[in-house]
Amino acid sequence: MNDNFLDRLRAETDEKSRELLALEFILDTLDADLRPAVQVAAIPHWFDEEFAAALLQISIGEAQRIVDALKAFSFVEPFPGRGYNVHERTRALLLERLWSHDRQTYREFSQRAERYADARSKLAPDANARGAATPVWTIEAIYHCFMVDQRQALDRMNDAAWDWIRADRYDRLEAMARVIAEHSTAGRLGDEARSWLIFWQAKVDQAYARLNSAREKYSALKIDANALPELAARCMLGFGDVLLMLSEYEEAKQKFDKATELCLAADELSGQAHAFVQLGQIAYLEDRAAEGHGYYSRASAIYKSLDYPEGEAECLSGIADILRIQGDLAGALERLLEAREIFLKVESKQRCATTTRRLADVYNSLDKYHDAMKFYDEALAVFEETGDRIGQAGSLYGLGIVRLQRDEYALAQELLESALGTYRDVGSPLGEGNSIRALADMHRLRGEAETAKEAYNRAADVYRKIADRLSEFQSLIGLAHAERDLGHYSVARSHYQSALPVIRSSSDKLSEADSLSGLAELERLEEQTEPARRLFDAALAIFQAAQSRRGEADCRRGLADVHALLGQYDEALREYTEALRIAREIECQSCAADSLYGIGQLNQAQNKFDAARRHYENAQQIYQTIGARRGEDRCKTALDALRRTLT
C-alpha cells in the first residue's frame, strides 16, 4: 500500500494533486464518524465543541469527543480564544474538494455555520459601538451567508461596509474583505459579489494609502454600467480619487468626468457632487482658478439640495484653496473657519482634520507660525489616528515649512525628510517634489547653495514627470536664488527671466512676488539701483496685498539696501527699522539678522563704528544660533574689516 502511495504521489504532476493525495491518505485512516467531521471542521475559520455541535447537529458531549480527536492531528492547530482551526492550506484543500464534489453539503453546513455565528453575534453587547472589539461573529456570519444566498450576503456585506466607512472603521472593513476574499480566490463568488469585494478591497487600500494597489484593483474592475449602475459610478469615483492622490490629474479628470455621467444615470447625486469637488481640486492644482470655482459652486448647489452641510463645507474649503493661491488670505481664512465649524458640528473628524491642515497652511502664509503649528499638530494627530498617511505627510510638510520660516533648519530638515519618505511610500509625486523643493530651500537658507541647486533640479525632474509646469518653474526660481547666492549672476538672471512669464500667467501671486524680489536682489547686487527699486516695490505691493509679512520684511530690507547704495541713509534706516520690526513681530530670525546687518553697514558708512559693531555682533549671534553659515561669514568679514579700520 505504501509503495503504491509513493508511486501515485510521484505520478502526480502538480503540487495541488499531491497535496490532495496526502489528504486522502490521512482521511482514509480515520474512523467513519471522524472523516466527515474533518470536512465539517474546515467550514468555519475556527471551531470548539459548541460550534462543532451546531454544525454536526450533535450533543456537546459528542462534539467534545470529536474535537479531542481532531486536535491530535498536525493540521489542526489551537486558535487562541476560540478553540481550534484547520490549518489554512489543508482547509483550502478540503473546501475546494467539497465545493467541487458536493456543493449541496457545503451549502447546508454553511447555513448551519451562518445561523450559529448570527446567534453568537447577537450575544455581543453592541458590535458597532465605538469601544467594541471587531465584530468577528458578524463577519463570520456574512462569510458563510455567501455560500447560502449570495444576493442576501452581498446586501449584508455592503450594508456593513458602508456602516464601517461612515464610522471610520476601516479595520473592520479590512477584516471582512479579507475573509470574504477566500471565497473569491477559490472561485466561489459570482461576478457581482466579486466586483463589490474588489471595490471594498480598493477602498481599504485607499484608506491605508496603498495607492498603487488600489489603482490596480480599480483598473482590473470591468463593470457593466447598465447592469450595475451604482457600483460602476462608485468605482469610477474611487478610481478618480486614487489617481488624484497619485497626482495623475489628466487621468483623474477623465475618471471624474465619466463618474459625473454615471452618477447621473445611477441617480447618485452625492456622488456627482463629489466628482465636481474633485474636478474643482484638479482645476485648482492645474491653476485654472475660475474653472475650479465653477465646479465647487456646482457641487455646493447639489449638497445644499441634499441638505448635506459637510458637502457644502468641503466646497468652502476648496474655494479657500483657490483664494489662498490668488493671495486673498483673509477670504481663504474666513471660508476655512466656516468649513471647520461645520465639520466640528457634524463630528466629521477626517474632513475636519483636512480643513484644519488647510487652515494651518493659511496661517503659515500669514506668518502666524504659532497658530499654524497648533493646527498642523491637531490635524496630524487625527491623521495618525485614522491612518491617513497622505494627511500625515501633508501635516509634516507644513510643520517643516513653518520650522523653515522660523529658521529652525535642523527641525525643518527632520520634518521635511519624514514627509518626503511618507510621500514616496504612498506614491505621491507632487508631495515628493514639494518636499524636495522645501529641502532645497532649507539648504539654500543655510548657505549650502550647491546642495540646494542639486535638490531644486531633482524637484524639477519630479514635477516634469507629472507635467506640473507651475511647480517646475517654481523650482527654477529657487535655482535662480541659489545661483545668485553663488555669484553666478548671468545664470541666475536667465533662470528668473525664463520662469517669470510662466509664473505671471498663473494665479500664484506669492511666487510672482518671490521671483520679483529675487530678481530685484540680483539687480541690487549688480548695483542697478533703479530696476532693483522698481522690482522691490512691485514685489512689496503683492506681498502686502497677500498679507505676507515675511515677504514684506524681505522687500523692505531689500529697498533699504538700495537706498543705502544710493547714500539715502535716512530712507534706508527707516526701511531697515520697519523690516526689523516686522521680523521681530513674526519671529523671523534670519529677517531680523539681515536687517541688523544692514543697519550695521549703514552705521559703518556714517562712521558710527561702535553702533556698527554692536549691530554686526547681534546679527552674527542670530546667524550662529540658526546655523546660517553665509550670514555668519558675512558678519565675521564685516567685523574684521571694522577692527582693521579702527586700528
Interface residues toward other proteins, by CB under 8 A: 1-3, 5-6, 9-10, 12, 15, 18-19, 22-23, 25-26, 28-29, 45-46, 73-75, 77-82, 85, 87-90, 125, 130-134, 136, 139, 170-171, 174-176, 178-179, 204, 208, 347, 349, 378, 381-382, 384-387
HSE value, Cβ hemisphere, 13 Å, CA-based, for 344: 10
Closest distance of CB 603 from other proteins, Å: 48
**77 exposed, middle or buried (CB, 10 Å; 0-12, 13-18, 19+)?**
middle
Residue 78 region, left (φ>0) first, then alpha (ψ -120 to 50), else beta? beta
Q: Quick one: residue 373, left, alpha or beta (phi over 0 = left, psi -120 to 50 = alpha)? A: alpha
Helices (H) and strands (E) in the chain, counts: 33, 2
Which residue number, 417 or 617, has a Cβ lying nearer to other proteins? 417
Q: Which CB sits closer to other proteins, 307 or 347?
A: 347
**DSSP labels, 92-117:** HHHHHHHHHH-HHHHHHHHHHHHHHH
* Closer residue to other proteins (CB): 294 or 421: 421
How far from 50 is each of 63, 84, 140, CA to CA, in Å? Answer: 7, 12, 15
Picking from 252, 217, 220, the residue whose alpha carbon sits closest to that of residue 237 is 252
| Residue 352 Cβ vs other proteins, minimum distance, rounded to whole Å | 8
Q: How far is CA 139 from the centre of its chain?
A: 29
Give 29 or 100: the residue with its C-beta nearer to other proteins.
29
Closest CB to other proteins among residues 423, 456: 423
What's the min distance (Å) between Cβ of 140 and other proteins?
A: 8
C-beta of 272: minimal distance to other proteins in Å? 28
Q: Residue 85 CB, nearest distance to other proteins (Å)? A: 8
CB of 143 vs other proteins, minimal distance in Å:
10
**Residue 19 or residue 108: which is nearer to other proteins going by CB?**
19
Q: How far is the CB of 391 from other proteins (least distance, A)?
A: 12
Measured from the CB atom, the residue of 10 and 644 that comes closer to other proteins is: 10
What does the alpha-carbon distance between residue 75 and residue 89 come to, in Å, rounded to a whole number? 9
d(CA 539, CA 445): 20
Q: How far is the CB of 211 from other proteins (least distance, A)?
A: 14
Beta carbon nearer to other proteins, 140 or 367: 140
Q: How far is the CB of 19 from other proteins (least distance, A)?
A: 6
**Complex with other proteins: residue 129 or 467, whichever CB lies closer:** 129
SS (H, E, C) 149-203: CHHHHHHHHHHHHHHHHHCCCHHHHHHHHHHHHHHHHCCCCCHHHHHHHHHHHHH
> Would you call 47 helix, strand, or coil by DSSP?
strand
Shortest distance, position 101 Cβ to other proteins, whole Å: 19
The nearer residue to other proteins, 207 or 282, going by C-beta atoms, is 207
Task: Residue 333: name the closest of 301, 302, 299, 368 by CA.
Answer: 368
| Beta strand segments in 438-515, E | none
Q: Are 590 and 407 in contact (CB under 8 A)?
A: yes
- Half-sphere exposure of residue 570, counting CA atoms within 13 Å on the CB side? 0
**How many C-beta neighbours within 10 Å does residue 24 have?**
12
- For residues 134 and 127, give the distance between their C-alpha atoms in angstroms, rounded to a whole number: 7
Q: Which three cell numbers stand for residue 594?
A: 539681515
- CB of 442: closest distance to other proteins in angstroms? 21
Nearer to other proteins among residue 142 and residue 277 (C-beta)? 142
Residue 560: half-sphere exposure toward Cβ, Cα within 13 Å:
26
